[in-house]
Amino acid sequence: MNHTENHKFSLTTPLYYVNGVPHIGSAYTTMVADAIARFHRLQGKSVLLVTGTDEHGQKIQRTAAEENVEPQVHCDRIVESFKSLWDKLDIKYDRFIRTTDPQHKQIVNEFFARVWEQDDIYLDRQQGWYCVSCEEFKEERDLIEDHYCAIHTNKQAEWRDEENYFFRLSKYQQQLEKLYESQPDFIQPASRRNEVLNFVQQGLKDFSISRIDLDWGFPIPIDDQHTIYVWFDALLGYITALLDPDQAPTLDNALAKWWPIDLHLIGKDILRFHAVYWPAMLASAGLPLPSKVFGHGFLTKDGLKMGKTLGNTIDPIELVDRYGADAVRYYFLKEIELGNDGDFNETRFINVLNNDLADVLGNSLNRTLGMLKKYCQSTVPQLSSADFSSDHPLKSIGMTLGDRVVQAYENLQVSQACTAVLTLVRAVNKYIDDSAPWKLFKQEQHSEVEQILYAVLESIRLSAYLLSPVIPSTSSKIYQQLGFDWDFNQEQENSQGAFSTHSNWGELPMSKALGQASPVFLKLELPSKD
């Protein structure tokens, strides 16, 4: 990887279906993507976070019909609820692509033409069970009793028997196998990779990329009796999204700066599309492949699968309105190891936040600022890393923390990154108790008191900095109380240089004037039942 490549990082969330307002699954993927994007920005990289909406297909057409509105009107309404939730959750996306954007059609047509020229598209008969909620043909073995979908257990798959255009996926069997072998981390985590390898080993079948009973979508360029299959159209949204706003919609323009994408972050249910169909489509069009597809796990509520029929969904809008963005982000990013399934339970949610952010992080800052006021006239002791031995209880953790957090983000282990930081904050509270600066102050050991308070303050600063991709508002409050003019939600002078000083323990000259102390995270309470 050359230097400039190292300084760019592009990632995508899935493009979400607009059949309804955003659910917690979409919010989860987007929060994870945002934290990863923020961490790369913090390191001074140029980052492109792509998100957006997948608006064509039968599912959306039917939803709009049920509401008696034109599909476009329906989509426009729902898109607003996505954008508003992303704002509430402090998601800083760079591109929001809608598959109904006019430039997208041109990209799809040009891509289609390339694949057509390779003789990778042909007309044939499609027979099979189709799940409209998945927008996917299912094998009998993937369905449960009475042809209900295993993912959407309240939806019956529909029998289809029609002429469709097919994409010659089978032609790419060997090429895909070679890809998975030569780039073992193309699909992550390992369990997902194995799933894909098993699927591919069974032999790839060509898949249909057009529908005949559908108006809501782009017509197949060579046959307007057919509409392009929603997944073929949606995946290409990742390319259209890369166009600058004033650029002519050509593939060359779209691919010039940000392609190939470094990371497609998705949920495990849509792995096959991203790890099998998508690379094959790109190979057919002669385009380079993305570097990585990461399939995260599924969320449950109180240990149960969520669903509208069970009536136990989590409304992300309600959650963020009630508890705030940092709380929601922290719970899902810290409590769930990315890649594993995870559970949401409101009591646990409250306990985790009150413990980690209010009691551990907030309280350590509060105690420290209080002592600085009392013992040092709110002035930061002018010390630095060199004044502390390397086995100092806080410096010893702080010295390697930045590197460990970088490593964790490189491995997409956001939860581990948070846990590593929390270890330092917990050590701060213990260190204050053990070293009892109030006693030393009474004994007039002023330089010892200064040493302690500097070490503590610097550890809290470093923790706030390294947690900022997850809890940007809380980190900003901490930085401001430490006297820094810094807001992690604003574009600022992120650079490699800034990262190396801010992410190191004791390297940053502290501001002399501390800001006003106030609680950075207020304790949460469960809403009353009535």
By CB under 6 A, name the binding residues for ligand MSP: 14-17, 25-26, 28-29, 54, 234-235, 237, 266-267, 269-270, 298-299, 306
Rounded distance between C-alpha atoms, residue 296 and residue 313, angstroms: 19
Q: Minimum CB separation from ligand MSP for residue 157, in Å? A: 17
CB-nearer residue toward ligand MSP: 28 or 484: 28
Rounded distance between C-alpha atoms, residue 121 and residue 278, angstroms: 15
CB-nearer residue toward ligand MSP: 78 or 510: 78
Q: What are phi and psi of 293, to 5 degrees?
A: -120, 120
CB-nearer residue toward ligand MSP: 78 or 357: 78
- Of 258, 134, 266, which Cα lies nearest the Cα of 187? 266
Q: Minimum CB separation from ligand MSP for residue 355, in Å? A: 24
Q: What are phi and psi of 47, to 5 degrees?
A: -120, 140
**129 and 157 Cβ atoms separated by less than 8 Å:** yes
Q: Minimum CB separation from ligand MSP for residue 42, in Å? A: 25
**One-character DSSP codes across 442-463:** HTT-HHHHHHHHHHHHHHHHHH
Residue closest to ligand MSP (Cβ): 267
CB-nearer residue toward ligand MSP: 10 or 354: 10
**419 and 360 Cβ atoms separated by less than 8 Å:** no
| Paired strand residues for 64 | none
Decide the pairing of beta strands 143-144 and 148-149: antiparallel
Q: Minimum CB separation from ligand MSP for residue 140, in Å? A: 22
Decide the pairing of beta strands 8-17 and 46-54: parallel
CB-nearer residue toward ligand MSP: 134 or 176: 134
Sheet holding 121-131, edge to edge: 136-138, 121-131, 158-167, 207-208
**509 and 520 Cβ atoms separated by less than 8 Å:** no
Q: Minimum CB separation from ligand MSP for residue 266, in Å? A: 5
Return the DSSP state at 142: G
Tokens of 72: 């476009």
CB-nearer residue toward ligand MSP: 234 or 327: 234
Q: Minimum CB separation from ligand MSP for residue 251, in Å? A: 17
CB-nearer residue toward ligand MSP: 12 or 126: 12
Q: Minimum CB separation from ligand MSP for residue 52, in Å? A: 9
